[in-house]
Structure 1
Amino acid sequence: MTNAKINKLGDGINESLFTFAEYDESQAERTGYSNYSYWRSTFQMFRRNKVAMFFLVLMIVLVVFTVIQPYLPNQKSPTKIYIDENTNMQIRNNPPDLEFWFGTNSIGQDLWSRIWSGTRTSLLIGFLVGLCEAVIGITVGALWGYVRKLDAVITEIYNVLDNIPTTIIQVLLTYIMRPSIGTLVFAMCITGWLGMARFVRNQIVIIRDREYNLASRCLGTPTKRIITKNLLPYLVSVIMLRMALAIPAAIGSEVFLTYIGLGLPVSIPSLGNLVNEGRVVMMVPSLRYQLIFPAIVLSLVTISFYVIGNAFADAADPRTHI
């Protein structure tokens, strides 16, 4: 376009339509504001799931009741053997009645108190194992996936431990060490973190080279901050699901070890002990209550954690947020 044509176009512009922008300090200080909160949005999404809310309330009531149950009035001891005053004999296999709400077992112990004491023990084991697996698994998995220098070393360690059957390790440790809650927790944790570490590692490998992580690395952001601020928050939904499923899995392992005779001693009530005791008498119709009651409690715990974990993982997924 020639200069003459440009000048002709310029002469036709109405200068009153244009004004110079002036600096306004108050306008310069104004910033965008959003009241969005990730966790608030997550809990709002979770509350919409009525089934998960039901099991959450049920689980809270169950946990609270197991904690306060020994302090309620008219509660019996879970380890005491009750004697009939008239016959001076053990009240064996007494069916549920007003005195023994869940009946008694084969040596005259109150099943009501034993079931709630066993639930406390099993939940304690489940929470401790789930916490250990989460801490060790997330830490190792994050370093394994992000720090390339550690990849070969941790991979070899993982291959060695993963090729040893978990059941064999648990059986050997519980056989060698003195049976106790600490022994069970240690036996489950020594290899239980492998699945979590492998899962976190695979997820971090997928997202570690995305643009925002490369930009953070170029700006000199420390590795610890990149992992905790850029990577792990993106995986919170799937990590919470794995943690929720680790608790019932630990309780299931405790039941299995007790079933084969390598779990907790009979003097320490647990759901594993109770299910094992009920299994012995399950073929007698009048004594099946000794298996049914602990099995119901065990089923409620495992199903609740599974449903809550899945629902919370879906709610924590950023893609489901508006």
Structure 2
Amino acid sequence: MGIYTKEISNISDKSSEQLFQFAVSDDHQAEETAYSNYSYWQSTWKSFLKNRVAVFLLALVLIIVFFTLLQPYLPGQKSPTEIYLDEQTGSQARNIAPGSEFWFGTNSIGQDLWSRIWAGTRTSLLIGFVVALVEVVVGIAIGAMWGFSRKLEAPITQVYYIVENIPTTIVLILMSYILRPSISTIIIAMCITGWVEMARFIRNQIVILRDREYNLASKCLGTPSYRIILKNLLPYLISIIMLRMSLAIPFAIGSEVFLTYIGLGLPVSEPSLGNLINEGRVLMMSPDLRYQLFFPSIVLSVITIAFYIIGNAFADAADPKNHV
């Protein structure tokens, strides 16, 4: 019996040595195992790239913006404000049809439409981008305070009702009368009321999210309010912010066109898409001169439609609900 027990113990010792070994810990490998290479913006970009129409329009808009900035420095470009003369008659080269010398023709006083359209596009895009940026910054700041702070809810609500009940057209007209017509005047007039819609959207969304459990837990732990807004609330609103910003750019350009239509926009000496479309509108009944309306209208339409589609596509791609 003793010999049998001794043999069993020897077998078990050999089996333990063969089957069981001490594991060697590797801290670096443990960190790599716990690491996740997920990136929210990378996931958003991949989702956006699946929309081929939006990607094509984004590339088109980037080409237009790049060419608009580069166009004055290209060789053979004419001045957008200079009045050109006909070499044979010595008079103004008025209403010359598109050709090799004037690619988009000339207007009624002999200015080159090609250079004026791209100069006007620069002006309109500048107005659109500045107004959109101001609307986003001011709208997010006021909307976040409006929705998160119960103390500021009542006074901001009263300010909102006052600004909301003043028609935007009236504000634009009054600012154009009070200040000298210029790019800065139009930007200021649009920014006075432009932040209202953004602030309202942000406020409504924050009211929905602010009392959720993780936000209440953050308050109990003493987290400052601005960190709760920046870390817990605003990331859920990225899609709304991007959509509103993309729509603000064509809206600002359209407002500039409207002001020019009623005679309160930029001066004629300042090329803009609004001025060009207004000049072409007067000549639209003449078949030979309709090109003066078609060319700036096509550029304006491409920009506004592209920003609308790109904004919607990026808003869907940035929606946190579509990310795992």
Query: Aligned pair 1:186/2:194, yes or no?
Result: no
> Could you list the runs of 5+ residues in structure 1 that have no partner in the other structure?
1-21
Instruction: Quote the sequence identity (%).
Output: 69
- 1:78-132 CA-to-partner distances (Å, cap 9, x unmatched) read 0000001211100100000000000000000000000000000000000000000
Query: Aligned pair 1:120/2:122, yes or no?
Result: yes
Corresponding residue of 2:88: 86
Q: Could you tell me how far apart the structure 1 residues matched to 2:171 and 2:321 are?
A: 40
Give the direction of change, closer, same or farther, for the CA distance of 1:28–1:303 in structure 2 (3 Å limit).
closer
Equivalent residues in 2 for 1:46-65, closer than 5 Å = 46-65=48-67
Corresponding residue of 1:175: 177
Give the direction of change, closer, same or farther, for the CA distance of 1:24–1:140 in structure 2 (3 Å limit).
farther
> Could you list the runs of 5+ residues in structure 2 that have no partner in the other structure?
1-21
- In structure 2, the residue corresponding to 1:228 is in which secondary structure? helix
How far the C-alpha of 1:26 sits from its partner, in A, is: 5.0
TM-score by length of 2: 0.91
Query: Aligned pair 1:294/2:296, yes or no?
Result: yes
How many residues align structurally? 301
Q: Could you tell me how far apart the structure 2 residues matched to 1:23 and 1:165 are?
A: 74
How far the C-alpha of 1:33 sits from its partner, in A, is: 1.7
- In structure 2, the residue corresponding to 1:56 is in which secondary structure? helix
- 1:182-219 CA-to-partner distances (Å, cap 9, x unmatched) read 00000000011001001100010011111111111110
Q: Could you tell me how far apart the structure 2 residues matched to 1:197 and 1:51 are?
A: 30
Query: Aligned pair 1:100/2:86, yes or no?
Result: no
Q: Could you tell me how far apart the structure 1 residues matched to 2:99 and 2:145 are?
A: 57
How far the C-alpha of 1:233 sits from its partner, in A, is: 0.7
Q: Could you tell me how far apart the structure 2 residues matched to 1:68 and 1:108 are?
A: 24
Which residue of 268, 281, 284 maps to 1:282? 284
How far the C-alpha of 1:63 sits from its partner, in A, is: 0.1
Q: Could you tell me how far apart the structure 2 residues matched to 1:23 and 1:73 are?
A: 72
How far the C-alpha of 1:23 sits from its partner, in A, is: 11
Corresponding residue of 2:236: 234
Equivalent residues in 2 for 1:2-41, closer than 5 Å = 26=26, 30-31=30-31, 32-41=34-43
TM-score by length of 1: 0.91
Q: Could you tell me how far apart the structure 1 residues matched to 2:214 and 2:28 are?
A: 27
How far the C-alpha of 1:29 sits from its partner, in A, is: 9.2
Letter in 2 for 1:270: S
Give the alignment's Cα RMSD to 1 decimal: 1.5
Q: Could you tell me how far apart the structure 2 residues matched to 1:148 and 1:28 are?
A: 48
Q: Could you tell me how far apart the structure 2 residues matched to 1:265 and 1:283 are?
A: 24
How far the C-alpha of 1:30 sits from its partner, in A, is: 3.3
Which residue of 42, 45, 50 maps to 1:43? 45
Letter in 1 for 2:80: P
Corresponding residue of 2:252: 250
Which residue of 309, 315, 318 maps to 1:307? 309
